[in-house]
């Protein structure tokens, strides 16, 4: 079952209220071919549980890893993945596009 954006945002709120460390990742910009549109969300807790999607494949693994740091230090990050980036092949964004994902802690 695919979760709606409302479900994802509700989960972020519920997880934070339950005392879990939580970060939310949001696609803020796309260019070219991108698997998810701007405004897509991925919510991540401190244990590595997540709900939603910002891209798919290994990009999401990289976002989940960065989210752990955001939860730990509270500092938001703007991540960029693109085909021109050598890391794009490593994280699986070889579709020819580029995405920017903003990751912030939920308080």
The per-residue pLDDT for 16 is 96
Scanning the structure block, which residue is given the tokens 């903003």? Answer: 102
Length of the chain: 107
Q: Phi, psi (5° rounding) for residue 61?
A: -60, -40
The per-residue pLDDT for 97 is 77
45 three-class SS: strand
pLDDT band (50, 70, 90) for residue 60: confident
Q: Which residues make Cβ contacts (< 8 Å) with residue 1, sequence separation at least 6?
A: none
Average pLDDT on 55-67 reads 87
The per-residue pLDDT for 3 is 66
- Domain boundary assignment for the chain: 5-106
Mean of the per-residue pLDDT values of the chain: 86
Cα–chain center distance at 42: 5
The per-residue pLDDT for 1 is 43
Quick check: 87 pLDDT over 60?
A: no
Quick check: 71 pLDDT over 70?
A: yes
The per-residue pLDDT for 68 is 96
Which residue blocks in the chain are alpha helix, DSSP H? 5-17, 57-73, 86-91
Strands 41-45 and 22-31: antiparallel
Average pLDDT on 2-31 reads 90
């Amino acid at each position: 079952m695919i979760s709606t954006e409302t479900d994802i945002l509700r989960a972020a709120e519920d997880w934070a209220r339950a005392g879990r460390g939580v970060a939310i990742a949001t696609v803020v910009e796309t260019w070219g071919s991108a698997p998810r549109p701007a405004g897509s969300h991925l919510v991540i807790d401190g244990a590595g549980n997540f709900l939603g999607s910002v891209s798919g494949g290994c990009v999401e693994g990289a976002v989940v890893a960065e989210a752990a740091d955001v939860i730990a230090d509270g500092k938001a990050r703007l991540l960029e993945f693109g085909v021109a980036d050598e890391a794009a092949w490593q994280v699986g964004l070889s579709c020819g596009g580029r995405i920017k994902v903003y990751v912030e802690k939920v308080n």
